[in-house]
Amino acid sequence: MTFQKGDFILINYTGRVKETNEVFDTTYEEVSKKERLHKEGDAYEPKLVVVGEGWVLKALDDALLDMESEQESIVEISSDKAFGQRDPEKIKRVPLRQLLAKEINPIIGSRIEYQGKMASIRAVGAGRVLLDFNPPLAGRTLIYDVIPKKKLDSSEEKILAIIHRRVPVVEQEKFNVTIKDDNLTIDMPEDTFYVEGIQIAKRGIAMDIQKYLPNLVQTQFVETFKAEPKPVDIAPLTVASAPAPVSTTESPDEAAPAEEIKA
């Protein structure tokens, strides 16, 4: 059975540049290490996609409609349907001193922010730096190797997947969700209390739920702070006094009567 628009699915994939066979993205940790793409802290696991919602490139999104669970598919996307053609007007030379003044060390191939835009450093020399403001994959044909792993059907599965997408650093099993009538309660685990940007993440979760599960009209987040256990007072150890020694010597009054000596 193929997928439909609006389906929640988890997909594994590896994306390559057709012209060079270079891997630029993957959900597999072993592939990321082999291709030197691995980043500590990144989650390598099946990615959540709501079909037809533009969470991936449109050409790939459209191709998902013809896929089936656990079936491998190869999707080729031309540059005009991926990141567009390269624009020579977006390649500029800038003085090296301008980057050094901003404490930017220009290294060929690195990505930097310059005048509010992202650029790739293509060349450095003669006091000038060649910056390319085109997207890194502009002008490239992309090949995606995709395997849809699972379709999420229940509301609870969808909610947990939405939460994990917004808060990937905390295992989704640690969240507890309760649906009562048209109200949703999300119990936030202690691990989330100090996650950077957690308030923005919660707003994003609530907006996603309003959009994709419109039957739930209210989303409530519960954070429970537990008091630290109080130390137990231990009474000082009392050493009992040793009993007074018992004498085994008989007193004169208690002595046995002397044997009578007869004349």
Q: Where are the domains of the chain?
A: 1-85+137-151, 88-132, 154-228
State the average pLDDT over residues 214-243. 79
Tell me if 88-132 shares its fold with 154-228.
Answer: no
Report the CATH number of the 88-132 domain: 2.40.10.330
Mean predicted confidence (pLDDT) in 140-164: 97
Contact yes or no for 142/77 (Cβ under 8 A): yes
Fold of the 154-228 domain: Alpha-Beta Plaits (3.30.70)
> What's the whole-number mean pLDDT along residues 161-167?
96
The pTM (predicted TM-score) of the whole model is 0.78
C-beta separation of 15 from 23 below 8 A: yes
Type of residue found at 72: E
How far is C-alpha 56 from the geometric centre of its chain's CA atoms? 18
Is it the case that residue 197 has pLDDT exceeding 80?
yes
Confidence label for 18 from pLDDT (cuts 50, 70 and 90): very high
Domain 1-85+137-151: give its CATH architecture.
Answer: Roll (3.10)
What pLDDT is attached to residue 258? 43
Tell me the sheet residues that pair with 10: 48, 150
Per-residue DSSP letters for 184-226?
EEEEEPGGGTT-TTHHHHHHHHHHHHHHH-TT--EEEEEE-PP
